[in-house]
Structure 1
Amino acid sequence: MSGFDNNPFADPVDVNPFQDPSITQATASGVDQMDDYNPFSESTTVTTTIPVPNSPSQPAVLQASVESSPQVTAAAGQADLIRQQEELEKKAAELERKERDLQNRGAPTGRENNWPPLPSICPVKPCFYQDFNEDIPLEYQRVCKMMYYLWMFHCVTLFLNVLACLAYFTADSSYGVDFGLAILWFILFTPCSFLCWYRPIYKAFKSDSSFSFFFFFFVFFFQVAVYIIQSVGIPKWGNSGWISSISMIGSNLAVAVVMMVVAGFFTVCAVLSVILLKMVHSKYRRTGASFQKAQQEFSQGVLSNGTFQNTAASVASSAARSAFQRS
């Protein structure tokens, strides 16, 4: 029965785990250290070391803003205004310089006449001023110069027509009237063509005058018709055209050849005049001219003319005087 006296739940060996030498030593050392530790002692220092990252440092970069600030916009607008002001000042200085040059020339109109280009010893002075680069805008200079060249070619053709009609007259004395009319056409048409259709188109391109455009179209249309008649060469009309030149082939071939050359010149004048008329009309449509503007310019020009005003005043006074005497 002695076996029943033992506790079956008791360990066979009574072992205390806290009696282990290693645990006892650790516990004893920890108690001593805790007893000796004074947190308020000055000699006790706590050193904390913070590890430095090994990654290399980079300077901070400020990214530019995508949207412009009001200060930048105001600065850009101010710079634009300054640039425009500088351009206006340059243009004003250029205009002032040109005006000063015109005043220094000493002419009443500000510039001296230079056409026709006569020598200084000639007693007759130039009657007109002509400068394509100064008077005519750049987009119209080519057409205006072509009209000037057409006028010079027209004058040369009229002079050759006089020589051809002279040969015509020497070959047949019955055609002396053609020679006389050829001289008349040369003397009459040379200055009239310059004054009636070349100068109006020059003034039209210079001042964008609707009245000058309409006057040019009216006169130049008849000039084209005259070119066609001269190239045809109706006998006894003073023109060395195709009909007159062909009629001379059987009697005098040399005179016929000379007259055919002049007839070809008249034909070239007719063709060039039609082409230039279309070119001038296309330029005219871009200028914004109109018949109403032409009427207004004509009325203003007539009413502001001193001669017209004096004539109208004298006519009105004489009419009033006669009416008063009748009463």
Structure 2
Amino acid sequence: MSGSGLDENPFGEPNWDNPFADPAIQQAQRLAGGAVVSLEDYNPFEEQAKPQLQINSTNTAAVVQPLSQNVPPPQTSSLGASAPSTSIQITSEELQRRQEELDRKAAELDRREQQLQGNVPQLNNWPPLPDNFCVKPCFYQDFEVEIPPEFQKLVKRLYYIWIFYTMTLLANVIGGLILMFHAGEIGTFFLAIFYTLLFSPASYVCWFRPAYKAFRNDSSFNFMVFFFIYFFQTLYSVVQAVGFQKMGYCGFITAISQFNGEAAGIIVGILLLNVAFCFTAVAVANVLMITKIHTIYRSTGASMAKAQAEFTTEFLRNQHVQEAASSAVNSAINSQFNNSRY
């Protein structure tokens, strides 16, 4: 009899001596023979193809076939050994960098907390000048430390308006210089220099610092000082933008008057118009800022009576006022005592 299962007696006793003599098992072994991978080349981290059970309609025996006969070649041992070490090295460097950044932030927060508690003296840092400069900083300014978080962006915008206003005054000096060479107007140039030297520090001290202290200490009195001075600053910026002749400002009137039909006059007029537009931008920014700050101030429930009470309290707490009052009282008591003796 042949080796096929068709020549055997189906009604006879099955052959249990060799379980691998089943034709289905032998066929599965022949089909999967090319996909066998040796133990040395086996890579546990590589995704292996899973066998799939398929039923042949022409044969009752179940045949196990792999999904893919092509097994990808295993990676070399040198590459597999170097990749994990490189990954670990990059991760360690990243962790070290983050740890240093966290330590830096923690030290900065600790320093600021000590400054707020008064344990560390606050050194003046504005204006930012070199250490070996003959003039030292006059004010201490730190938005993140002294200003509440909800008002930091607003106070910084006000500070940027002051910077832009100072730059506009410098541009006005350049416009006055151009006007002096073009039309011989010396007065505009020297007035522009005088206004720059006067209004640049005065604007910082008179309206920015009160606003800074108002948001820092929630001071109604400083708010009132800011509103009073900043209102006139806004009106004066409108006058600067208009630019009446021989007032020292290169505004619209002064710029338009230079358009005399000549090429030089047109160029000078265009340059002066840029200065006029800068003054206009300052005026618009002032209007928007004073409106915004006034809305915030009114929403806190502040009033003129609160500002007056705060002014009285701060006035009486002032050390110089206390010393003057003490001297006056002592003088009055001494004079009264001397008069009573004689």
- Shorter-chain TM-score category? 0.5 to 0.7
Question: Structure 2 residue aligned with 1:214, among 201, 224, 229?
Answer: 224
Moved more, 132-141 or 302-311: 302-311
Do the aligned partners of 2:112 and 2:145 also contact (CA within 8 Å) in 1? no
Question: Structure 1 residue aligned with 2:189, among 170, 179, 182?
Answer: 179
Answer yes or no: is 1:155 the counterpart of 2:166: yes
- Aligned match of 2:269: 256
Matches within 5 A, 1:301-312: 301-312=314-325
Unaligned regions of 5+ residues in structure 2, if any?
1-106
- Aligned match of 1:12: none
- Separation in structure 2 between the aligned mates of residue 99 and residue 190 of structure 1, nearest angstrom: 30
Q: For the structure 1 residues 196 and 319, does the alpha-carbon distance in structure 2 shift closer, same or farther, using more than 3 Å as the test? A: same
- Separation in structure 2 between the aligned mates of residue 263 and residue 273 of structure 1, nearest angstrom: 15
Amino acid at match of 1:130: Q
- Aligned match of 1:291: 304
Shift of 1:297: 1.2
Deviations along 1:228-253, one digit per CA (max 9) or x if unpaired, are 00000001110000000000111622
Shift of 1:283: 1.3
Do the aligned partners of 1:137 and 1:205 also contact (CA within 8 Å) in 2? yes
Shift of 1:303: 1.3
- Separation in structure 2 between the aligned mates of residue 246 and residue 322 of structure 1, nearest angstrom: 70
- Aligned match of 1:270: 283
Q: For the structure 1 residues 104 and 124, does the alpha-carbon distance in structure 2 shift closer, same or farther, using more than 3 Å as the test? A: farther
Amino acid at match of 1:180: F
Do the aligned partners of 1:208 and 1:287 also contact (CA within 8 Å) in 2? no
Answer yes or no: is 1:236 the counterpart of 2:246: yes
Matches within 5 A, 1:52-201: 101-102=114-115, 110-173=121-184, 175-201=185-211
Structure having the higher Rg: 1
Shift of 1:310: 3.0
**SS of the residue aligned with 1:193?**
helix
- Separation in structure 1 between the aligned mates of residue 170 and residue 111 of structure 2, nearest angstrom: 40
- Separation in structure 1 between the aligned mates of residue 254 and residue 116 of structure 2, nearest angstrom: 56
Shift of 1:316: 6.1
**SS of the residue aligned with 2:224?**
helix
Answer yes or no: is 1:225 the counterpart of 2:238: no
Do the aligned partners of 2:242 and 2:276 also contact (CA within 8 Å) in 1? yes
- Separation in structure 2 between the aligned mates of residue 289 and residue 130 of structure 1, nearest angstrom: 25
TM norm structure 1: 0.64
Do the aligned partners of 1:241 and 1:263 also contact (CA within 8 Å) in 2? yes
Shift of 1:216: 0.3
Q: For the structure 1 residues 102 and 247, does the alpha-carbon distance in structure 2 shift closer, same or farther, using more than 3 Å as the test? A: same
**SS of the residue aligned with 1:118?**
coil
Deviations along 1:43-99, one digit per CA (max 9) or x if unpaired, are xxxxxxxxxxxxxxxxxxxxxxxxxxxxxxxxxxxxxxxxxxxxxxxxxxx9x9568
- Separation in structure 2 between the aligned mates of residue 187 and residue 153 of structure 1, nearest angstrom: 15
**SS of the residue aligned with 1:245?**
helix
Question: Structure 2 residue aligned with 1:202, among 212, 215, 234?
Answer: 212
Shift of 1:113: 1.7
RMSD of aligned alpha carbons: 2.8
Amino acid at match of 2:282: C
Shift of 1:120: 2.1
Moved more, 132-141 or 313-322: 313-322
**SS of the residue aligned with 1:285?**
helix
- Separation in structure 2 between the aligned mates of residue 226 and residue 253 of structure 1, nearest angstrom: 27
Do the aligned partners of 1:209 and 1:289 also contact (CA within 8 Å) in 2? no
TM norm structure 2: 0.61
Deviations along 1:273-316, one digit per CA (max 9) or x if unpaired, are 10111111111122232211111111111112122233345556
Q: For the structure 1 residues 171 and 291, does the alpha-carbon distance in structure 2 shift closer, same or farther, using more than 3 Å as the test? A: same
- Separation in structure 2 between the aligned mates of residue 142 and residue 100 of structure 1, nearest angstrom: 21
Q: For the structure 1 residues 147 and 99, does the alpha-carbon distance in structure 2 shift closer, same or farther, using more than 3 Å as the test? A: closer
- Separation in structure 2 between the aligned mates of residue 180 and residue 97 of structure 1, nearest angstrom: 49
Instruction: Work out the number of aligned pairs and report it.
Output: 229
